[in-house]
Amino acid sequence: MQFKNNFKKQLSDNLDTHAKLIKIYKDIDFSVELIFKSLKNGGKILFCGNGGSAADAQHLSAEFLIRLRPKINRRPLPALTLAQDTSTLTACANDYNFKYIFSRPFQAIANPKDILFVISTSGNSQNIYEVLKVARKKKIKTIGLLGASGGKCLKLCDQKILVPSNVTARIQECHIFIGHFILEQVENLIIKK
């Protein structure tokens, strides 16, 4: 019982932040179209993020590769996380620099039909910034699922989805909701095709 008031406050904050997402619906809608066109044209979606956002990147990639909804059995959709495995991550961090852990594999596997989908609560992660720079050089479209002001990564994202909050937990809660929504809408378009 001692945490009931804190629970109510955080739940209220969560609901308020989610309610504000209606203001950014056009950005979400455009991201659905961008991903659908990429997949339709033979591209793949390359996800990346740090910490909790890395887990979200893996989670969303798995939803495309395997299955999002239990009763919809469609072909696997090409999606990968750039945080591929501990050997690749630690080799890059050791031999080059931690800031290149996403840009090195991205350089190796990305092509112009692909979409880079970055997830960052602050938008200031150096390794996200570096991979966005590579995507810009390779003319690969990017989607940034960001929080607050979007940080320094904002200017390098072709499509920006900014969660209107400065609280990391609220941003991350909205990120997974938005990610699931985008994937579900893309899946709907693919099934109709």
Mean pLDDT of the 45-57 span:
96
Q: What pLDDT sits at residue 193?
A: 62
Burial class (CB in 10 A: 0-12, 13-18, 19+), 153: buried
Mean pLDDT of the 26-39 span:
98
Q: What pLDDT sits at residue 20?
A: 95
Mean pLDDT of the 63-91 span:
92
Q: How far is CA 12 from the centre of its chain?
A: 25
Which residues fall within 8 angstroms of residue 31, CB to CB, at 6 or more apart? 143, 159, 161, 182
Between 4 and 102, name the one with better pLDDT: 102
**Cα–Cα distance for residue pair 114/39, rounded to 1 Å:** 8
Q: What pLDDT sits at residue 36?
A: 98
What is the residue range of 26's domain? 4-192
CATH number reported for the structural domain that contains residue 174 in this entry: 3.40.50.10490
129-186, pLDDT tens digit by residue? Answer: 999 999 999 999 999 999 999 999 999 999 999 999 999 999 999 999 999 999 999 9
Q: What is the DSSP letter of 70?
A: T
Q: How open is the CA angle 59-190-24, to the nearest 5 degrees?
A: 65
Task: Give me the number of domains the chain comprises.
Answer: 1
Mean pLDDT of the 58-85 span:
92
Q: What pLDDT sits at residue 1?
A: 67
**Cα–Cα distance for residue pair 13/174, rounded to 1 Å:** 11
Mean pLDDT of the 81-92 span:
91
**Contact (Cβ atoms closer than 8 angstroms) between residue 103 and residue 39:** no
Q: Six-digit token pair at 105?
A: 């594999």
Nearest to 171 by CA among 80, 49, 68: 49
**Contact (Cβ atoms closer than 8 angstroms) between residue 111 and residue 127:** no
Q: What pLDDT sits at residue 31?
A: 98
Q: What pLDDT sits at residue 192?
A: 84
**pLDDT of residue 90 exceeding 80:** yes
**Contact (Cβ atoms closer than 8 angstroms) between residue 150 and residue 123:** yes
One-letter amino acid identity for 173?
Answer: E
101-122, pLDDT tens digit by residue? Answer: 999 999 999 999 999 999 999 9
* Size (the chain), residues: 193
